A and B are shown apart, each in its own frame.
Chain A
Amino acid sequence: MAAPTVDESFQGRVYPARPAGTVTADAVRAFARAVHAADPVHHDAAAARAAGYADVVAPPTFAVTLAQRAEAVFVEDPQAGIDFSRVVHGEEQFVHHRPVVAGDELTAELHVDRVRVVRGNAMVTTRVELAAADGPVCTVTSMLVVRAPEEQP
């Protein structure tokens, strides 16, 4: 049986904003350590406050952790037909409206901007708009490639 391909009718779908969680200082520190970001403003609240921030500052790619959780409602929807074992990350973009800092309570609105299937390979572009009570925080755009299954002999 041929594996299902990605359903192009998902293009244009918008999943309304829902809570994306509160950014914790521990999460910021662990992420900063993982990407080898040593600046004290990632790790030390006093250093962050001295630099003018409310609390420790997330590295510029931290928002992917929130975006990927928000994308799951689409990416893991069986109706969408995405076989995650065949997914390759194609592109990623962050547009920061302001830095993410510990204590931020964010919401995530998911847009499926593009679904295109060419010869069984699908290119899926999602956009997550992260916002706080004071306005937009970060726009995270991801392009995933879902490779076609190999022909079975």
Chain B
Amino acid sequence: MTVAFDAAGVGTTLPATRFELTRADLRAYAEASGDRNPIHLDADVARSVGLPDVIAHGMLTMGLGGSVVTAWAGDPGAVVSYATRFTQPVVVPATGAAAVDVTGTVVAVDAAARTVAVDLTVTSAGVKVLGRARAVVRLP
């Protein structure tokens, strides 16, 4: 299922998506990415540098946002650019999960390039964790 350029005008919203992140998700991302910084794996280390608990990799949170965009676009190869700032950490408890909520809206279209700009809002525990998260996607 692929979104057509003509069906993705300004104001089009992406399906709101919730991810439930657990410590196992952080271990899986550490293995898959090679980023084994212990602040994502070990509560004692996280607390020793002033964090409340283990935090998710910023790149994992950005990756979840990317997955929402590619699932909507229907073609993971269609992302032309994707950028964000990391504004707040996602704190992941030892038991249970941290909810990460992703919404997205088309904010600009480029008819010549047949691309759309999607701004993402990514929150956890009611706080925005990414800032200025924007993906540009080429649509057929």
- Measured CB to CB, the residues of A under 8 A from B are 27, 30-31, 33-39, 41-42, 51, 53, 57-61, 64-65, 68-69, 84-86, 88-96, 98-99, 141
From known contacts A31-B32, A51-B75, A89-B86, infer whether A37 and B81 are also in contact, taking CB-CB under 8 Å. Answer: no
User: How far apart sit A58 and B32, CA to CA, in the bound complex (Å)?
Assistant: 12
B70–A92 contact, CB under 8 A? no
B80 touches which one: A68, A89, A96 (CB < 8 A)? A96
Contact B84 A37 (CB under 8 A): no
Chain A residues lying within 8 Å of B71, measured Cβ to Cβ, are: 37-39
Q: Which residue of B lies closest to A87 (CB)?
A: B37
In the assembled complex, which residues on chain B have CB atoms less than 8 Å from the CB atom of A84?
A: 37
- Which residues of B line the A interface, CB within 8 A? 19, 25, 28-29, 31-35, 37, 49, 58-60, 62-64, 66-67, 69-71, 75-77, 79-86, 135
Are B58 and A92 in contact, CB atoms less than 8 angstroms apart? yes
Most buried by A among B37, B49, B70, B76: B76
Given A34-B25, A35-B64: A91 and B83 interface contact (C-beta under 8 Å): yes
Partner of B70, one of A37, A89, A141: A37
Q: Pick 22 A–B contacts, CB within 8 A, sort by A.
A: A30-B28, A34-B31, A34-B32, A34-B63, A35-B29, A35-B66, A36-B67, A37-B63, A38-B71, A58-B76, A59-B70, A60-B66, A60-B79, A64-B33, A65-B34, A68-B35, A89-B59, A92-B83, A92-B86, A93-B81, A96-B81, A96-B82
Interchain CA distance A70-B120 in the complex, whole Å: 28
| Distance between B139 CB and nearest chain A CB, rounded to angstroms | 15
In the complex the two chains form, what is the Cα distance from A9 to B119 in whole Å? 36
Q: Which chain A residue shows the least CB distance to B33?
A: A65
Q: Please, which residues of chain B bring their CB within 8 A of the CB of A30? A: 28, 31-32
